[in-house]
Amino acid sequence: MTMLPEKLLTGYRTFMAQRYANETMRYRQLAEQGQTPETLVIACCDSRAAPEIIFDTSPGEIFVIRNVANLVPPYEPDGEYHATSAALEFAVQSLKVKNIVVLGHGRCGGIKAALDTESKPLSPGDFIGKWMSLVAPAAEAVAANELMTPFERQTALERISIRYSLRNLRSFPCVDILEKKGRLTLHGAWFDISTGELWVMNPETGDFLRPDPELVDLQPGQ
């Protein structure tokens, strides 16, 4: 009897034979002592953009929220269920992370759906439509520019939505206060699936730049 997709079971056996075998002590210590990740990464669910792969992290390094299009809703203490806000609160207040990285990526299906003004809801509940409405004003502004190609519009909205999520992060009092005290730093980054390139946001200008592997400073590009 196989109770998991066979491919996942095979992968799990590789994990045990390699990664876990190599890092047994680290896993045991992490289990005993609990996690103390320094960084929260808010990433997309996309199967091609896992932050643990892109940042080649070890277990215990990054606490990871993944939702469609790596969005952060604005602070709304309304007593509803908020998966992202709850995880954010846990990371900042309980784990006391020092960094938050909003990690977007190219060819994002959620962003594409937000730009497709003629799409029909996937369900009567239209969860995805409602979720992507978090960036609706930006999506409308970008979609209206017919001089840009569809690909250019998509990249533009992907990057705008990262800046938008960073702004919403600051609407949470705990984030705002800790950032002003210098105990929490916010970052934006955008991953290009095709080229593997990571474009990092300049916090002052909002532009996305590629880190230079040689010089460790950042050069603008588009």
Interacting positions 165-204 with its own copies (CB under 8 A): 173-174, 185, 187, 189, 192-203
Least CB distance to its own copies at residue 64 (A): 5
Do 199 and 190 form a contact (C-beta atoms < 8 A)? yes
Q: How far is CA 119 from CA 39, 50, 112, 115, 159, in A?
A: 36, 27, 10, 9, 22
Contact between 116 and its own copies per CB under 8 A: no
Half-sphere exposure of 128 (CA within 13 A, CB side): 16
Which residues are documented as binding site for Zn(2+)? 44, 46, 105, 108
Taking CB under 8 A as the criterion, the residue among 118, 149, 181, 182 binding its own copies is 149
Binding footprint of its own copies, residue count (CB under 8 A): 138
DSSP state of 49: -
Angle between helices 136-143 and 150-169 (to 10 degrees): 150
- The residues with which 200 forms a beta bridge, in sequence order, are 189, 209
Contact between 217 and its own copies per CB under 8 A: yes
220 by DSSP, 3-state: which?
strand
Taking CB under 8 A as the criterion, the residue among 104, 117, 155, 180 binding its own copies is 155
Buried b (16+ CB within 10 A) or exposed e, 101-126: bbbbbbbbebbbbbbeeeeeeeeeee
Contact between 163 and its own copies per CB under 8 A: yes
Contact between 136 and its own copies per CB under 8 A: no
Least CB distance to its own copies at residue 154 (A): 9
Residues 20-59 that bind its own copies (CB under 8 A): 20, 24, 27-28, 30-32, 34-35, 37-39, 45-50, 52-57, 59
Taking CB under 8 A as the criterion, the residue among 150, 171, 180, 183 binding its own copies is 150
